[in-house]
């Protein structure tokens, strides 16, 4: 049966919509019906949905529009397309956009029930897997941050010192460096550790959705508000709220957030009285906040309210000694999740990864190891299991250093060092590889203080 899973049915044919709503409700699903794609989009912006069952061809917003919006708002949800105009090209297109299944009209109700049941099960498994990942990431209420880098160790020491306080924090760093994990570490190092930790991405939601998610609403506050909903600020009271990519927050939302921090109270949409809250805010950004303030994209008064203590997470390229450690941590993690006996990583793979600059940082490394575990047929991740573009990479990628573009001279030094390492320190071979004579290489080594390389 449906186990209360939330199902959205969209069709502009009244009879079809009523039949599907009747039979799916009997299966135990919590069904919401929409007689147009436009209405479906409004529902998706206000209500969590597990599975969407939508007609393809409709006036205005069609099934593809519903599919795109659903995947944007709820990546883990599944969408099933129903159409009387079945064709191979349209089926391929819907699958490319992430549709779970494609059903042609006239359909058999048993077929629809079967496909919906399978889609609901897939959503359930994805969410259980996410919970298992969360369990692996934390142990006895503590967050694991894998590093032996002195900068990271200093940051963790500082986080432990400020953890017991209630001061707000800003965590900056490139995308994929682990800012949310660091925020969780601060939370679990505090006196709020037994209270809730919630995270929300300020850049992934529209202003209306972000407002309802953060502040909540009263019944009847807007069309579709069929009941009262507590916002994350209220729900996180006593604990910590992590605001990811805070610079993407709309200016009007920044004003509302500033008031919450100042007054320690929140007003639900449609309410007439405020509710006291006790929340620690940790915000993150991959941008320079002072530049955002100068450009008028971020309020200076909100910056000072949040920036009581700040942390800057270094990119993975600046802590290469951590790469092998993280590789084996992720290897164990994904071997457990996938129930596979992959226990080793070949030395060639480790060497390639240590010399790669990881523009996507720790998240990119995690994805690479996850892929390797999935593709491995034996006990070891081999070079053949790495992404093709990484296998073909012969030199390091270009990237910023200390938030600036490196000079040509810095790139030359880095490249010469890399070639010397690849040639085992053989200067004659290195010069040939570089396309210069040995004397020119010697001059460059002397110029850059690399004679001992």
Mean pLDDT, residues 306-315 taken together: 93
- CATH class of the domain comprising 163-312: alpha beta
Share of the chain above pLDDT 70, in %: 90
**413 and 450 Cβ atoms separated by less than 8 Å:** yes
Mean pLDDT of the chain: 86
Same CATH topology for 6-128 and 163-312: the answer is yes
More confident call, 325 vs 125: 325
- CATH class of the domain comprising 6-128: alpha beta
Mean pLDDT, residues 350-366 taken together: 89
Q: What is the pTM of this model?
A: 0.61
pLDDT of 252 strictly over 80: yes
Given this model, what pLDDT does residue 106 score? 82
Chain segment 141-193, per-residue pLDDT in tens: 567 788 888 899 999 999 989 888 889 999 999 999 999 999 999 998 898 98
Chain segment 17-30, per-residue pLDDT in tens: 999 999 999 999 99
Domain locations in the chain?
A: 6-128, 163-312, 316-391, 408-447
Share of the chain above pLDDT 90, in %: 42
Mean pLDDT, residues 302-316 taken together: 93
CA angle centred on 419, ends 414 and 424, rounded to 5°: 125
Mean pLDDT, residues 301-320 taken together: 92
Structure-token pair, residue 432: 């040939």
CATH architecture of 408-447: Orthogonal Bundle (1.10)
Per CATH, which fold does 316-391 belong to? Helicase, Ruva Protein; domain 3 (1.10.8)
pLDDT of 32 strictly over 90: yes
pLDDT of 395 strictly over 60: no
Given this model, what pLDDT does residue 131 score? 63
What's the gap between Cα 18 and its chain centre?
A: 37
Q: How confident is the model at residue 373 (pLDDT cuts 50, 70, 90)?
A: very high
Chain segment 212-249, per-residue pLDDT in tens: 899 988 888 877 777 788 899 999 999 999 999 999 99
pLDDT of 103 strictly over 90: no
Judged by average pLDDT, the poorest of 72-81, 117-126, 405-414 is 405-414
Q: How confident is the model at residue 135 (pLDDT cuts 50, 70, 90)?
A: low
Q: How confident is the model at residue 389 (pLDDT cuts 50, 70, 90)?
A: confident
């Amino acid at each position: 049966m449906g186990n209360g899973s939330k199902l959205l049915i969209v069709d502009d044919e009244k009879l079809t919509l009523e039949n599907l709503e009747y039979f799916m409700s009997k299966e135990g699903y919590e069904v919401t019906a929409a007689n147009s794609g436009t209405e479906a989009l409004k529902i998706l912006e206000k209500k969590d949905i597990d599975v969407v069952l939508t007609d393809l061809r409709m006036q205005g917003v069609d099934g593809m529009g519903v599919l795109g919006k659903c995947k944007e708002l709820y990546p883990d949800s599944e969408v099933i397309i129903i159409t009387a105009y079945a064709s191979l090209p349209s089926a391929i297109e819907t699958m490319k956009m992430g549709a779970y299944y494609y059903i042609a009209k006239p359909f058999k109700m048993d077929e629809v029930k079967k496909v919906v049941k399978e889609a609901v099960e897939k959503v359930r498994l994805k969410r259980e897997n996410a919970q298992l990942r969360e369990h692996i990431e934390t142990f006895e209420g503590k967050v694991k941050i894998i590093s032996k880098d002195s900068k990271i160790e200093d940051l963790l020491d500082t986080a432990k010192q400020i953890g017991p306080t209630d001061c707000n924090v800003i965590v900056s760093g490139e995308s994929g460096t682990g800012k949310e994990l660091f925020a969780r570490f601060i939370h679990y190092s505090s006196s709020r550790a037994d209270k809730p930790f919630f995270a929300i991405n300020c850049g992934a939601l529209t202003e209306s959705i972000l407002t309802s998610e953060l502040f909540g609403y009263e019944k009847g506050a807007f069309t579709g508000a069929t009941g009262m909903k507590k916002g994350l600020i209220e729900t996180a009271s006593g604990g910590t709220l992590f605001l990811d990519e805070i610079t993407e927050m709309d200016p009007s939302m920044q004003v509302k957030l500033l008031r919450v921090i100042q007054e320690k109270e929140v007003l639900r949409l449609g309410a007439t009285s405020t509710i006291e809250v006790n929340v620690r805010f940790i915000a993150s950004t991959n941008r320079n906040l002072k530049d955002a303030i100068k450009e008028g994209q971020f309020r200076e008064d909100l910056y000072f309210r949040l920036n009581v203590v700040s942390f800057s997470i270094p990119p993975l390229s600046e802590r290469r000694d951590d790469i092998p450690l993280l590789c084996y941590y992720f290897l164990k993690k994904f071997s457990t999740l996938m129930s596979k006996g992959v226990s080793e990583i070949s030395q060639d793979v480790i060497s390639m990864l240590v010399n790669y600059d990881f523009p996507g940082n720790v998240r990119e490394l995690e994805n690479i190891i996850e892929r390797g575990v999935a593709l491995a047929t034996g006990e070891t991740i081999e070079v053949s299991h790495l992404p093709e573009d990484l296998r073909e990479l012969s030199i390091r990628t270009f990237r910023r250093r200390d938030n600036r573009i490196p000079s040509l001279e810095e790139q030359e030094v880095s490249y010469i060092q890399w070639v010397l390492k690849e040639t085992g320190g053989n200067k004659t071979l290195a010069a040939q590889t570089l396309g210069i004579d040995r004397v020119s290489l010697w001059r460059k080594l002397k110029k850059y203080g690399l004679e001992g390389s």
